[in-house]
């Protein structure tokens, strides 16, 4: 059993930087791949970033590539999302999620993740 708690969201201005954290409970965190998703009002949840259980592979949505960086520290049971050059379009609730390692499944599909955090609000003003 793994439980996730996101933190670090807030009200920012365009161009600012922010780091989100996702703290996991349990001693088997290393077993899971992890990802970040976000959902803006009136829109469907969209993929943001992915990292494999051993940090060997990372993938990003085109909208954030070059600005956001996902990382993890398995010894600290924590996944991070470093967000640079924030834009108003980044405004959303951000969710951390984990799922069993499965090389054959698409990393951008939310159905591949079975444990989700409560979400943290990120608001970026122009």
Q: pLDDT means per 10 residues in the chain (126 residues)? A: 92 98 82 94 96 93 98 93 98 95 83 94 97
Nearest in space to 96 (alpha carbons), one of 39, 40, 41: 39
Residue 2's pLDDT is what? 83
């Amino acid at each position: 059993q793994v439980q996730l708690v996101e933190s670090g969201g807030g009200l920012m201005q365009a161009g600012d930087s922010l780091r989100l954290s996702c703290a996991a409970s349990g001693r088997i965190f290393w077993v899971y791949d992890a990802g970040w998703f976000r959902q803006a009002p009136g829109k469907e949840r969209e993929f943001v970033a992915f990292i494999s259980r051993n940090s060997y592979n990372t993938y990003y949505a085109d909208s954030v590539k070059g600005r956001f960086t996902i990382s993890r520290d398995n010894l600290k049971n924590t996944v991070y999302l470093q967000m640079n050059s924030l834009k108003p379009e980044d405004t959303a609730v951000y969710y951390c999620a984990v799922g069993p390692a499965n090389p054959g499944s698409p990393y951008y599909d939310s159905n591949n993740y079975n444990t989700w955090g409560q979400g943290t609000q990120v608001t970026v003003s122009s």
